[in-house]
């Protein structure tokens, strides 16, 4: 059964007196550099910027957000990971076409597509492990792309590197995400 409303961090866990759901979240999701948690944080940042975080995240849905009638997909990458590294990671994003699954209907599409109207690529830019702070918005860059431009420039590619994205777009700061997406709304 899907949760349709957000749970308060103060929600007590029945049978564990004094233990709250926030305790679980802190335990499970404190490693924001992890390849499984950082993307969720990036989605939250974009959703917060667009003021669309009132409902809980839907796992595995074909898009991450709807905003002003547009379907948005959020992708994340970073130079640093949770493990000790010899050198920073190559920044790359999955842009493969996929058979979409719609959580609201519990149905799959019939062919592979890029389901979103917009992609927002989020990059954690810090390369020094001693300075990285995932929740410092100054360490993030964002790139907003229309899916039509991805299809035009990258056709059937399954992934794209940051250097290729930068050939077609300039990074923006967190505070400019909503403005840039609103500009894209006007273009679509």
Question: Does residue 12 lie within any of the structural domains?
Answer: no
144-167 tens-digit pLDDT: 999 999 999 999 999 999 999 999
Question: Does residue 1 lie within any of the structural domains?
Answer: no
Question: Does residue 16 lie within any of the structural domains?
Answer: no
What is the three-state SS of 127-144?
CCCCCCCCCCHHHEEEEE
Model pLDDT, residue 2: 56
Residue 62 belongs to domain spanning:
22-187
Query: Can you tell me the mean pLDDT for 4-22?
Result: 93
71-85 tens-digit pLDDT: 999 999 999 999 988
Confidence of residue 3 (pLDDT cuts 50, 70, 90): low
Question: Does residue 181 lie within any of the structural domains?
Answer: yes
Question: Does residue 123 lie within any of the structural domains?
Answer: yes
């Amino acid at each position: 059964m899907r949760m349709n409303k957000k749970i308060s961090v103060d929600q007590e866990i029945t049978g564990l007196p004094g233990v709250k759901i926030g305790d679980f979240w802190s335990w499970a999701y404190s490693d924001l550099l992890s390849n499984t948690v950082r993307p969720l944080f990036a989605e939250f940042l974009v959703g917060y910027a667009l003021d669309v975080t009132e409902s809980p995240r839907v796992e595995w849905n074909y898009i991450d957000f709807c905003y002003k009638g547009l379907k948005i997909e959020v992708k994340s990458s970073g130079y640093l990971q949770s493990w000790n590294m010899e050198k920073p990671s190559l920044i790359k994003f999955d842009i493969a076409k996929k058979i979409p699954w719609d959580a609201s209907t519990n149905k799959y599409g019939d062919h592979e597509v890029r389901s979103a109207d917009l992609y927002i690529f989020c990059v954690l830019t810090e390369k020094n492990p001693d300075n990285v702070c995932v929740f410092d918005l100054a360490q993030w860059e964002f790139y907003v792309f229309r899916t039509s431009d991805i299809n035009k420039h990258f056709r059937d590619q399954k992934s794209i590197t940051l250097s290729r994205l930068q050939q077609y777009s300039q990074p923006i700061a967190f505070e400019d995400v909503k403005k840039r997406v609103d500009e894209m709304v006007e273009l679509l």
